[in-house]
């Protein structure tokens, strides 16, 4: 058993159109302490928002922790749990079919964070009554509707191979 502090994180992302304005929400819990986080970008994708939620939450941790991260994103959970992202990185951000892996900028950050923290990914069904998932959904949708959203620094408009 790890001597690291155990933090529970719930995340969600939302996009009003895909691509479109997007938002993310996260809840971090350690013991009786809780912190909510949210943010968004004016043009992005739903998958990027799911990933930004996890990145923002993990980057908020000030020291290495044991983390259980709950997400309703199969893309995020499988990308880390099944080792897809590690394989893509090892292959120069190319997938097995030789097409470019999307969102390499965010996968790189996530993989780096998973080297700092002991992260266990857990999938939860979205919109199925899980209170923390529902709260993150509200946070992410509100963030997507905020005025004056910044640009997503890694999102490229154009064909999917550039995103």
Q: Which residues are catalytic?
A: 12-13, 50, 72, 127, 137
SS3 42: strand
Neighbours of 53 (CB within 10 A): 32
Length of the chain: 163
Is residue 44 within 8 A of residue 22, CB to CB? The reply is yes
154/139 Cα distance (integer angstroms): 22
Q: What is the CA radius of gyration of the chain?
A: 15
Distance CA 90, CA 87 (A): 5
Q: Nearest to residue 25, comparing CAs of 35, 4, 39?
A: 39
């Amino acid at each position: 058993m790890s001597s690291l502090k155990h933090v529970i994180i719930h995340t969600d992302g939302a996009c009003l159109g895909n691509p479109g304005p997007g938002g993310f929400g996260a809840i971090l819990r350690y013991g009786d302490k809780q912190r909510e986080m949210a943010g968004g970008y004016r043009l992005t994708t739903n998958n990027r928002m799911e990933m930004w939620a996890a990145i923002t939450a993990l980057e908020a941790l000030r020291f290495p922790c044991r983390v259980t991260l709950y997400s309703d994103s199969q893309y995020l959970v499988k990308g880390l749990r099944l080792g897809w992202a590690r394989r893509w990185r090892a292959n120069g951000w190319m997938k097995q079919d030789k097409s470019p892996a999307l969102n390499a900028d965010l996968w790189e950050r996530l993989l780096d964070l998973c080297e700092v923290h002991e992260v266990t990914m857990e999938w939860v069904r979205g919109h199925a009554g899980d209170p923390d998932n529902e709260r993150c959904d509200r946070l992410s949708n509100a963030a997507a509707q905020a005025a004056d959203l910044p640009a997503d620094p890694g999102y490229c408009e154009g064909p999917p191979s550039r995103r």
